[in-house]
Structure 1
């Protein structure tokens, strides 16, 4: 049989092409095996880095790279999603002690330089195609209270609102209340890989109305960049780091509570010392139908912070307050205030918080007297005066172990009303709290507390002793 030459040639050409393809496939397999080896080595290195990160460093390094996604902490997750693991996100831990109280006032405060209370940026995720990271948090809360009689504000414990003996609403039997008004919604935006400590912060709760539940109330909304902070937030005269750990959402009568429009600048003198100056809205309260404000409030503070010992803040405020009397005449007076507060760490298990305030025309920023026209009033002769005010607060915190802690708190607030004001106007109040807080999990807290309150008017009439027993539960999604 004769085989055509063309058929043989075609077969030879096909065999040659198959051999060439086989060689190329062998080369490709070799390249794939090399790539697999590189990925496995990279994976082992990344797992080792993340395992090492679980033990916090003595001083967290500054962020050097821009994160793309949240840090993945699980080793199994790392192995499954090696291709999507972002660079590790770490910030610089603030020198001030973060006490993680039940009613956390510290998280909303700005920090100097590029310091943060949470250097691991727990719960933050990246915003695509930007250097920004964001945390959207919710803190559902419920409080159940029982009062020995009517307090004047059933959902809150405010000595300034206690009825006095002889008032129509004084007395009565015990009263139970349950509310979720302390629930908070929070948005925290940062750019830790960029200079300037850029931050936008938002927070609200639902204490906008004492007579109705779940009424929106703005607590903070501000922006911060290179030490400049503008928006609606805490006055530079307030010290949010000394608020004691109470189950009572309202907090002690003697602390300063001042939320207002502000423009503030913080200068870091060094790692332990910083100072803040603020120009703020003159949000004052006077015993008159019409308030007069020609100047903003000027607030200043100087802080010393240390990781071991705690912190100390000295604050001052200068202001002009004014009012128009019934005849149409304008009156003005000078207001001032000094505020000293600290948190002192007494070892691993104990700490002490203290606050002392004195001034004239500053009662409207006291946590209790802010519910009254307590900055200025008219004397019997028709003159207008800034009302003298002072307060003291002391608290002790003891951690029995990682899950249980106890707090004892005492506060006294004192106001000297003008002679032309109501004879029963507020003179002073006392506040006491004792609690046990159970940390059920990293983000779930349950507290039991006994509260004591007392108010006396300038006439000598008083509220008699007021008692509240409270249980509060808070859950935070990402803290």
Structure 2
């Protein structure tokens, strides 16, 4: 009950602070009493230096992740703080001369005439990426900096609340549900499209990981992750229970706050049931990734990533829609195989003014054939291309507007290509 009362106090104080700001006044909102163990409500810029540092340094770094909270609850000694924040985002989308059949723009979901839709135009509106989070940070003698973080949006079925992150971190260890180490969230280019470049490595998993920083610039990490396997099967195979976790790891070198180079790898074993031999069998998947982002002067930021591997479709943005971690082996009934796959993107961002920037990114993902799979040319996805150009305006520190153009191509194994175009317009308010 006490926590609910504190939460109500936060919302009331935040409303008073916003009202005062709207009248052109600066107001510091603090809830105080004479109890030495009392909790104070402050704006983050008034919190202790260590709390501000931990809160900012441990905030997720993907473009679509929320910023550090504006208001926090802190104890009088400034060692512990609870922040509540997030954003509300509304997007209007219009597809023309071809559609991507999803609220996010995936080239793999550009339909052909035999897939149930003949429409060449589409209008959609979306607010389900709006996000809310709770974040507890603190400084302790034995555990050092620790973070407990939960966040979610409304991307569940029928627009229900869906968990996006839930983890606890201390002494370099993290336990919970978060981005995989086999991706580079901080190296993703800015897009209104929530999915982002189709060749980008992207995945969330329940995991136990350890990360450590050496000499302030070199960082390494390794994890044990819950396996997530999807495959195409026939009557001779089925996806079985998984017997082995996935093992991602990475090395990253930073030379300033906005420039780094990351190299990552992953190994996974995928179990399936061979219904011909009546036994469980496994196929090994692996992948390698290299990514970077760096600035050229004060105005230009570059982004790039390349990933290649076998049986890693769950970790690749566009190909994850195809369920091709493992596929049937046409040469041996009941057996399955892993296919090679690749993805990459390159992009740039130019800051016109401190409040306005433009960006553009080109990306590609590709699925390769092996062992005569598929046996005949078909309408199965072979590769996709993704081109995006946008402009963002930070109207205030908490309000951002943007407009974006997207173009996608899908080419199948029968060499048929179809395309789609989309215009996105968005407004986002951070709190």
Using structure 2 for the length normalisation, give the TM-score. Answer: 0.81
Within 5 Å, which residues of 2 pair with 1:73-84? none
Q: Describe the SS at the equivalent of 2:99.
A: coil
State which drifts further: 321-330 or 435-444: 321-330
What is residue 65 of structure 2 aligned with on the other side?
Answer: 104
Q: Describe the SS at the equivalent of 2:93.
A: strand
Of residues 344, 353, 356 in structure 2, which corresponds to 1:404? 356
2:132 pairs with 1:185: yes
Distance 1:342 1:70, change over 3 A: farther
- Compare CA radii of gyration and give the structure with the larger one: 1
In the alignment, the residues of structure 2 paired with residue 236 and residue 86 of structure 1 have an alpha-carbon distance, to the nearest angstrom, of: 31
What is residue 468 of structure 1 aligned with on the other side?
Answer: 422
Deviation at 1:308, TM superposition (A): 5.8
Of residues 82, 85, 106 in structure 2, which corresponds to 1:134? 82
What is residue 346 of structure 1 aligned with on the other side?
Answer: 296
What is residue 287 of structure 1 aligned with on the other side?
Answer: 232
Q: Describe the SS at the equivalent of 2:71.
A: coil
Distance 1:297 1:99, change over 3 A: closer
What is residue 338 of structure 2 aligned with on the other side?
Answer: 386
Q: Does the 8 Å contact 1:239/1:256 carry over to 2?
A: yes
In the alignment, the residues of structure 2 paired with residue 133 and residue 332 of structure 1 have an alpha-carbon distance, to the nearest angstrom, of: 46
Deviation at 1:224, TM superposition (A): 0.3
Aligned residue pairs total: 384
Q: Deviations over 1:41-63 (max 9, x none)?
A: xxxxxxxxxxxxxxxxxxxxxxx
Structure 2, unpaired ranges of 5+: 1-36
In the alignment, the residues of structure 2 paired with residue 181 and residue 87 of structure 1 have an alpha-carbon distance, to the nearest angstrom, of: 34
In the alignment, the residues of structure 2 paired with residue 178 and residue 455 of structure 1 have an alpha-carbon distance, to the nearest angstrom, of: 24
Deviation at 1:331, TM superposition (A): 3.2
What is residue 32 of structure 1 aligned with on the other side?
Answer: none
Deviation at 1:69, TM superposition (A): 3.4
Q: Does the 8 Å contact 2:219/2:251 carry over to 1?
A: yes
Deviation at 1:256, TM superposition (A): 1.2
Q: Describe the SS at the equivalent of 1:302.
A: strand
Q: Does the 8 Å contact 1:67/1:131 carry over to 2?
A: no
What is residue 104 of structure 2 aligned with on the other side?
Answer: 156
Distance 1:412 1:249, change over 3 A: same
In the alignment, the residues of structure 1 paired with residue 186 and residue 58 of structure 2 have an alpha-carbon distance, to the nearest angstrom, of: 8
In the alignment, the residues of structure 1 paired with residue 132 and residue 321 of structure 2 have an alpha-carbon distance, to the nearest angstrom, of: 24
Q: Does the 8 Å contact 2:43/2:72 carry over to 1?
A: no
Distance 1:340 1:137, change over 3 A: same
Q: Does the 8 Å contact 1:70/1:86 carry over to 2?
A: no
Distance 1:223 1:207, change over 3 A: same
Of residues 382, 385, 394 in structure 2, which corresponds to 1:430? 385
In the alignment, the residues of structure 1 paired with residue 55 and residue 147 of structure 2 have an alpha-carbon distance, to the nearest angstrom, of: 15
Distance 1:122 1:455, change over 3 A: same
Q: Does the 8 Å contact 1:95/1:307 carry over to 2?
A: no
2:186 pairs with 1:241: yes
Deviation at 1:379, TM superposition (A): 2.1
Distance 1:397 1:384, change over 3 A: same
In the alignment, the residues of structure 2 paired with residue 405 and residue 67 of structure 1 have an alpha-carbon distance, to the nearest angstrom, of: 43
Q: Deviations over 1:83-118 (max 9, x none)?
A: xx875555548999999775238x6xxxxxxxxxx6
2:210 pairs with 1:265: yes
In the alignment, the residues of structure 1 paired with residue 353 and residue 254 of structure 2 have an alpha-carbon distance, to the nearest angstrom, of: 25
Deviation at 1:347, TM superposition (A): 1.2
Distance 1:269 1:94, change over 3 A: farther
Q: Describe the SS at the equivalent of 1:160.
A: helix
In the alignment, the residues of structure 2 paired with residue 100 and residue 405 of structure 1 have an alpha-carbon distance, to the nearest angstrom, of: 18
Using structure 1 for the length normalisation, give the TM-score. Answer: 0.74
In the alignment, the residues of structure 1 paired with residue 386 and residue 80 of structure 2 have an alpha-carbon distance, to the nearest angstrom, of: 43
Distance 1:223 1:102, change over 3 A: closer
In the alignment, the residues of structure 1 paired with residue 44 and residue 251 of structure 2 have an alpha-carbon distance, to the nearest angstrom, of: 38
Deviation at 1:169, TM superposition (A): 3.1
Distance 1:98 1:394, change over 3 A: farther
In the alignment, the residues of structure 2 paired with residue 342 and residue 269 of structure 1 have an alpha-carbon distance, to the nearest angstrom, of: 19
2:163 pairs with 1:218: yes
What is residue 334 of structure 1 aligned with on the other side?
Answer: 284
State which drifts further: 180-189 or 193-202: 193-202
What is residue 13 of structure 1 aligned with on the other side?
Answer: none
Q: Describe the SS at the equivalent of 1:371.
A: helix
Q: Does the 8 Å contact 1:342/1:353 carry over to 2?
A: yes
Structure 1, unpaired ranges of 5+: 1-65, 75-84, 108-117
In the alignment, the residues of structure 1 paired with residue 38 and residue 421 of structure 2 have an alpha-carbon distance, to the nearest angstrom, of: 51
2:255 pairs with 1:310: no
CA RMSD of aligned residues (A): 2.9
